Amino acid sequence: MPSHLSKASKFLSSAFTLRLAPNPAKYRCSVKLSTMSNGGGAVRFPLSASSTLVIQKGDITKWFIDGSTDAIVNPANERMLGGGGADGAIHRAAGPDLLQACYSVPEVRPGVRCPTGEARITPGFKLPASHVIHTVGPIYRSDSNPEVYLSAAYRLLSVSCCCFFGSLICYS
């Protein structure tokens, strides 16, 4: 394993504890998504009378619940001008207006519209989602101090997210 990945892995394992339930089925923490004919799959977990957690497999640019989606989360880069993976797919599906909206987000420093660990919101344009929440995950380098990248989360009670930057950027 390259040294920068080893350092990131060591930090993440020391910062977070993953607890696996002894009987996943009993605690409903095991999720298996079957592939549907359209390439997607979904599992629904009712949380209350008015909210349901949906874990869906498929193309995020086509995803919606009951005919609409308020927002999708885009694993962006700090420039917010599109890129590869889901970021590029979201920009292509939303059309050129999304790029224009991203250009209109003020830079906080040269070339940076959304610093690592923060988020910005734009309209969804041609997407089924009315909004796109752009967020930037950390990229660990051998000369970096990983604690700095997660410092904004230290005072939070809980943090939940999808598998951002899984294999595209530095992790596999």
Block mean pLDDT (10 aa), the chain, length 172: 48 42 49 50 75 74 74 92 92 98 98 92 93 83 62 47 48 40
Residue 71 falls within a domain, yes or no? yes
Residue 56 falls within a domain, yes or no? yes
User: Is this prediction's pTM over 0.75?
Assistant: no
Task: Output 15-19 pairs: Cβ under 8 A, ≥24 positions apart.
Answer: 15/150
Residue 22 falls within a domain, yes or no? no
Residues with Cβ within 8 Å of residue 32, at least 6 apart in sequence: 43
Structure tokens at 22: 């002894």
Residue 111 falls within a domain, yes or no? yes
Residue 159 falls within a domain, yes or no? no
Amino acid 98: pLDDT: 98
Q: Domain count of the chain?
A: 1
Task: Identify the active-site residue in 59, 66, 70, 87.
Answer: 87
The CATH number for 71's domain is 3.40.220.10
Instruction: Compute the distance between CA of residue 151 and CA of residue 149 in angstroms, rounded to an integer.
Output: 6
Amino acid 116: pLDDT: 85
Domain that holds residue 90: 31-137
Amino acid 23: pLDDT: 52
Residue 145 falls within a domain, yes or no? no
Residue 7 falls within a domain, yes or no? no
Name the nearest CA neighbour of 28 among 47, 50, 13: 47
Amino acid 147: pLDDT: 64
In this structure, are strands 69-75 and 129-135 parallel, antiparallel, or unpaired? Answer: parallel
Q: Could you give the C-alpha distances from 36 to 7, 33, 53, 55, 163, in angstroms and in order?
A: 39, 9, 19, 14, 21
Residue 51 falls within a domain, yes or no? yes
Residue 143 falls in the annotated catalytic set: no
Amino acid 41: pLDDT: 66
